[in-house]
Amino acid sequence: MKQASLVIIGDEILSGRTEDENLAYLAKWLGKLGISLSEVRVVLDDEDAIISAVNSLRKKYDYVFTTGGIGPTHDDITTECIAKAFGVEAKVDHDALEKMESFLDGKELTGPLLKMLRIPKGGELIYSPATKAPGYKIDNVFVMAGIPKIMQGMLEGMYDYLEAGDVVDSRSFDIMRGESFFAEELTSIQEQYSDVSVGSYPFSRNGVYGATIVLRSTQKLSLDSCEKQIQELIAKF
């Protein structure tokens, strides 16, 4: 299975002023393609932090996605950082410029608008229906806007660049007991199924403690067998 990572860029995320919506959406979107989102980093609008994260992750994973920092303001520095990470220049892209000029239809093409058309050398444009300012792909790094609607539209232009794998099937079951009551048995079940991920996520409902057991795998037979043991475990309580 191909593996991906995400770099969420923005002071506003780390300050708590803005709640990120892109992580969950991307994880589910990739999951439908049989690609695992395996690591996420959240970094400030800081050149060294962005370059370090991108360079580290692009060597480690098949795909790297970034969100945020490609807008028109002074703190939107992602594109310049991506260019430096790859050791190339960022320039206004001719095709992006033509598309923006056509959209403006004679209206002023301002400096902030031009900034959003800067692409690192070697980058391939990726558009969202929600905007005329593009994201882009360079090598195995996909650079997207932070605004959820725009980011989601950009993902729809990426299918041809991604190698889909076996889709992970996920099944969940509630057990109305605290985890300490079944932890050892759950460990034993996990040890029997190396190709099934067995997770336990505790909750409290109306004063009663319990957990949701989640099984994830691409192997149906193993998943069916593991599910049978989980059902037997739940029946004990």
Q: Which of 121, 151, 120, 154 is nearest to 10 (CA)?
A: 151
Q: Tell me the per-residue pLDDT of 48-93, one tens digit each, with 9 for 90 and over.
A: 999 999 999 999 999 999 999 999 999 999 999 999 999 999 999 9
Q: Do 33 and 54 belong together in one domain?
A: yes
Q: Tell me the per-residue pLDDT of 94-120, one tens digit each, with 9 for 90 and over.
A: 999 999 999 888 888 999 999 999 999
**What integer pLDDT is reported at residue 65 of this predicted model?**
98
Q: Are 90 and 120 in contact (CB under 8 A)?
A: yes
Instruction: Please state the domain count of the chain.
Output: 2
* Mean pLDDT, residues 178-189: 96
**Backbone dihedral region for residue 207 (phi beyond 0: left; psi -120 to 50: alpha; all else: beta):** left
Q: Do 61 and 138 belong together in one domain?
A: yes
Q: Do 130 and 173 belong together in one domain?
A: no
Cα(135)–Cα(116) distance, integer angstroms = 9
The boundaries of the domain holding residue 84 are 3-161
Cα(168)–Cα(32) distance, integer angstroms = 8
Cα(23)–Cα(95) distance, integer angstroms = 30
Where does a domain end: 161, 188, 210?
161
Q: Which residues, at least 6 apart from 29, have a Cβ–Cβ distance to it below 8 Å?
A: 155
pTM for the whole structure: 0.88
Cα(177)–Cα(202) distance, integer angstroms = 9
Q: Do 119 and 178 belong together in one domain?
A: no
Q: Do 156 and 187 belong together in one domain?
A: no
Q: Do 16 and 116 belong together in one domain?
A: yes
